[in-house]
Chains A and B, each alone.
Chain A
Amino acid sequence: MKKVLLGFAFTLLTVMSVMAQSKTVTGRVTSDEEPEGVPGASVVVKNSTVGAITDLDGSYSLVVPADGNTLVFSFVGYITKEMPIGSKTVIDVVLATDIKQLNEVVVIGYGTQERREITGSVTSIDSKSIENLVSPSFESQLAGRAPGVSITTPSGILGAAPIIRIRGVNSLTAGAGPLIVIDGVPVVSSDRSDVNDSNPLANINPADIASFEVLKDGSASAIYGSRAANGVILITTKRGSTGKAKVSYNTSMGINEAVETFKLLTGDEFVTIANEKLANAGQDPAAFPGVNTDWQDLVFRKGFVQQHNLSIGGGSEATKYFFSLGFTDQESAVRPNELSRYSFRANVDHSISKAVRLGLSMSYSYTEIFGLNNGSNSLSGAIYNATRALPNVPIYDEANTAFDGFNVTANGATTGFGNNLAGPDNNIPNIGFVIENNIYRSRTHRIIGNAYGEVDIATGLTARSQIGVDLTLADDFQSLDARHGDGRSSNGIVYMATNPAFLWNWQNTLNYQTVFAEDHSLNVTAGLEYQFAKYYGFSGEASDISDDYFRRNNLITGSYNNQFSSGSYSERGFDSYFGRFNYSFKGKYLASFTLRNDGISDLVGDNKRGTFYGGSVGWRVSDEAFFNSELISDFKLRASYAEVGNTDIDSFAAFGGYAPVLGGAGAGIGYNRIANSGLQWETSKKLNVGLDMTIGKVTIAADYFSNDVDGLILAAPTPPSLGVPDNSINQNIGAMTNSGFELRVASNIISRGKFTWDTDFNITFIKNEVTNLISPITSPYNRTQVGNSIGELYGAKWAGVNPANGNPMYYSGDDIIQYNLQPGLLPDGKPRLGYKVYDPSNPGDVSVSASGPTQDFLGRTLPKWQGGWSNSFTYGNFDAEIFTRFSGGNYIMNESLRGLLGQGFSNNQASILNRWTESGQVTDIPKLYSGEDQNMWQNSVSNSRFVEKGDFVKIQNIVVGYTVPAAALQSAFGGAISNARIFAQVQSPFTFTKYSGLDPEANSYSNQRQFGVDWNVAPIVRTYTLGLSVGF
């Protein structure tokens, strides 16, 4: 079927002309994949219109004109090859596969479809380009690989989940991440750890993945009905194919390091700055010279990384198998963060007869993460602490054996003072001691698997039943030292929890495909699906530990005085009925229609059920008789429309009532949520218009899309004084649109002799606008309001430093005001400190009081444009890829910097040395003044002084590889090794950005309404690795 269709497409290219003085050349086109011959390949005499198409066994015959001297062989999925004719009359060619255009058969929901027939918007990503990269989870490497798909890794902590957005943010308070389906089974995507960031997708071995399909528009995703609003990522794992067993082993090893760290004051600089803060506030010096310490040295390191994957795949006609073993251990650049994973997979397919097939996919993984406290504002938060600790104080004090030789005050309350009169603000602990002694460990056993049976009931009619499970057995262990740090106040804490999640999914589908009257091709799918998920867990906690010896591995009975426990239970179910109808006439006119009815347990009564639909049409213009372009070999127009839903809402979102609460007076119940039985599905109306085109060697896909999201399930804010739980009620209020344009251009640029250069570029422009809300949604940094995009930064507008007196200035409405930094009292007994009117003609005048700064929008947080650009090269046995990613049009609130310009007794960023010190000085850092953080920097809201552009271009990966020649292997190993490649890679080598923080993608909050805030986020990691792939 595939071959027939492919051949059919290329008949258009067949333009034969017979000329005089010509000769006939014959030959056969084959490939590694199709050694029996590649049918439908095009053979053209270079710089002419003379050509032929290979037939079923790949052979061709062509009359070459006298002036023809080169043949060009090309076919979709293969790299185009040129061969000189010379005096030859037989030219056989082996085509090399082109990774980017493989996957001619595309996985779609509940089935597969040929790429040519697709009328929705589906991007396929082959795993080959990313499978050897070292990262904790696969999805972070998909960033920039597909148009319309935004993936940002918000911090350098291993285990932190990347944020995935397909075609923008499509919900306000419901989830905005895509549905992720592995081998047909939707997987649990909630973090089940209480003590660490534990990305559930990190449980999956990236090396087991064969391909990713991203369903972006409504039509492609409509088959997932109520779960389609945020797009769908379908993951297909590797399976065996008929033939001799192929054994392969891949490994890479290297280091992780922080790309950048904070530039802080030295100990001596700190003494100057700290005392100046105090002196300006009329206080005595408290800092005195000591040592010069950079506490960041304690926190950052070069972490060792390694990964090993071994797989065996093969099979007979009847039985195919794929087994794999994987191991990785990655130390992050932040101590003591580490992730290791052991995984195992078995995929087996067996045909009982021609009509009956059974199969199994089974994976088990064990992931262990050692995390840390990296709270943005936590006293033991690694980044917060290391950047605030006093730099004129030593880390170690060998005589202090009670605290393992760390410099800690005798009572354990804080870091030793050194020569200072005071300790660090808020009594922050010695982070060295904390890292050494506190343990944050999460472990996850994960089983994802499915079993299916398929029966061909009649010609073209196939019934399939599949049962899938996803079991997560997560357990946590947290142990805090009693002597110092977070555990001190409780005299030691040991916390353990187990938080399993269990999901089963049962799908029954009937598929009928047929071709009638030769030209009409039909593919109909109908199905039903049930899904049930259970989330439960309990914890035990101990405090007041009798002896440190007992807190290292587990709760040990009898070793603690106080014990606490907790537990939770939640469940959720779906049942669904769906159908899809695909029709094609001569491969030229294409249409698809999908209908799905879903029921969900989170809603009440009749509102439980919703019906969703999508449809699309396509027109392959290039197949029309009138279309006669030599340049454009393929040209397809597509359009689709769908209404789909979003179920990523609170479990039991429509229910209300009383939850258990434990007060000091006893266990009671507290009003927890206002019921809203009227709550309905959130719907997304998705429109997509696109085209696919091949012009010469250039492949283009372009799409315009718009998504109108209506009836948003919103935790609609209520005035806090109503006292409604969480100050919100779940309601279908609000609407917004995402619209944009995507473009992907891929081409072979050079293919000359041993050298090839391929390029693949994509870019997406997205505009988000909130069109209806009950009231603005506000959080400390962001504000979502009708007419703007989600979560724009909102806060005080900085007006600079008054050169006359060093006062910080802000806008209050249209006027500029200053906060007068002068100690003491006025003659009338009022303090001199306070907001004063700023008179540009008399800037030093602080006699007139003013009201405080007003707030305004300071910039959107969602990027307007983003994309990726891959360039790959081969020269003989060498290969290389440079992958670049870019994004921009957004703004970031650099809260890290604001905190590091604080006015307390803590370390500062080195730029504070530019503070105002004398009249007339023009600077952007005001006069120092102890304790005036809030008035100087407007701490509780965003501040335009710290709002920066987030534009960046990142060289994401550079990979260089060398494939050992087969002959060399043959002579060295006598055929024991069939292929071998060695490679060197560097991930995140360069970032080009004007953003002054550590990483323009850093993000402290993962919810879409609070975005674009960089608050003591761990720096992005650069990874250097060397690796080896061998096949046996």
Chain B
Amino acid sequence: MEKKKKIIDIEINKEYCKACLFCIDSCPKQCLIMGTELNSTGFTSPVFVNQGNCTGCAICSLLCPDMAIQVFEILN
């Protein structure tokens, strides 16, 4: 039987993000791209795309120097 694929949601704290691009660069499934909206200190922040490809590996969250990324598994 096929293992049920996890459905992941990612929340990015736009105010904490400093647009270092580590998450975008590290994501093995290209689920993050840079957004265009500026925060109060002039940084843009990533946007979660390709949700279907995300495996919830949380590399983006762990390697974020500003701890701005939360990764959730959507249940049922």
A, B bound: no
